[in-house]
């Protein structure tokens, strides 16, 4: 059983990754002018250039907002989410994450075209009652975002 969080809309939204994780091929990462390359148990300089890798710089909060296209949603998701575009909503649900999500919504919600924020348990035979709530973008707050990490809910944000 797993909790999944999504953003759903009738129009495309930009993907974003504020996790601080640096991703790329070994060649691309080697060519970056990093102040300090994190230590690894792999000898980074002996890996093939085309291998995909990630670097997590020291002291980075990796829980920042992440929104990416959901190309393979969990089974049963289509019974709940009816919007055309579905995106994974990731991160740590911290205060920093809440601020990032709020800024993202302010920047990307089109007037008259609400989006939906979903939190769904998948892989569980008994479902808890879904909380549905309409929220004006200007009135959304951290308590609403906390619910996304705690229970089945769908917020329509206008």
Q: Using CA atoms of 45, 46, 50, 56 in order, give the dihedral in degrees to the nearest 10.
A: -50
Closest CA to 35 of 53, 59, 15: 59
Structure-block tokens of residue 82: 């009816």
Mean pLDDT of 39-54: 76
pLDDT of residue 38: 55
Shared domain for 10 and 73, answered yes or no, is: yes
Report the percentage of the chain scoring pLDDT > 70: 88
pLDDT of residue 47: 82
Shared domain for 69 and 126, answered yes or no, is: yes
Element (H, E) at 154: strand 153-157
Shared domain for 66 and 138, answered yes or no, is: yes
| Domain enclosing residue 111, as ranges | 2-19+61-157
pLDDT of residue 100: 92
pLDDT of residue 126: 56
pLDDT in tens, 5-14: 999 999 999 9
Contact call for residues 76 and 122 (beta carbons, < 8 A)? yes
Shared domain for 31 and 8, answered yes or no, is: no
Shared domain for 92 and 131, answered yes or no, is: yes
Shared domain for 116 and 128, answered yes or no, is: yes
Shared domain for 8 and 42, answered yes or no, is: no
Shared domain for 36 and 68, answered yes or no, is: no
Number of domains observed in the structure of the chain: 2
Shared domain for 122 and 102, answered yes or no, is: yes
pLDDT of residue 10: 96
pLDDT of residue 65: 92
pLDDT in tens, 72-113: 888 878 888 999 999 999 998 888 898 999 999 999 998 889
pLDDT in tens, 115-152: 999 998 776 555 568 889 999 888 887 778 888 888 88
Shared domain for 34 and 98, answered yes or no, is: no
Shared domain for 7 and 26, answered yes or no, is: no
Closest CA to 8 of 116, 155, 157: 116
Closest CA to 132 of 158, 150, 154, 157: 154
User: Hunting for tokens 């709530």 — which residue is that?
Assistant: 133
0.85 cut: is pTM over it? no
pLDDT in tens, 15-38: 999 988 878 888 887 777 665 555
Shared domain for 67 and 135, answered yes or no, is: yes
pLDDT of residue 40: 61
């Amino acid at each position: 059983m797993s909790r999944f969080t999504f953003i759903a809309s009738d129009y495309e939204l930009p993907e974003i990754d504020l996790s601080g994780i640096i991703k790329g091929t070994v060649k691309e990462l080697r060519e970056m002018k990093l102040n300090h390359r994190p230590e690894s148990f792999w000898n980074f300089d002996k890996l093939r250039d085309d291998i995909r890798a990630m670097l997590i710089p020291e002291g980075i909060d990796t829980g920042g907002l992440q929104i990416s296209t959901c190309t393979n949603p969990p089974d049963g998701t289509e019974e709940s989410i009816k919007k055309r575009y579905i995106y994974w909503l990731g991160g740590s649900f911290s205060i920093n994450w809440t601020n990032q999500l709020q800024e993202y919504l302010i920047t990307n919600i089109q007037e008259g075209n609400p989006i939906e924020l979903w939190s769904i348990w998948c892989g569980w035979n008994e479902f808890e009652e879904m909380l549905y709530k309409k929220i004006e973008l200007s009135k959304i707050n951290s308590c609403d975002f906390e619910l996304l990490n705690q229970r089945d809910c769908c917020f329509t944000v206008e």
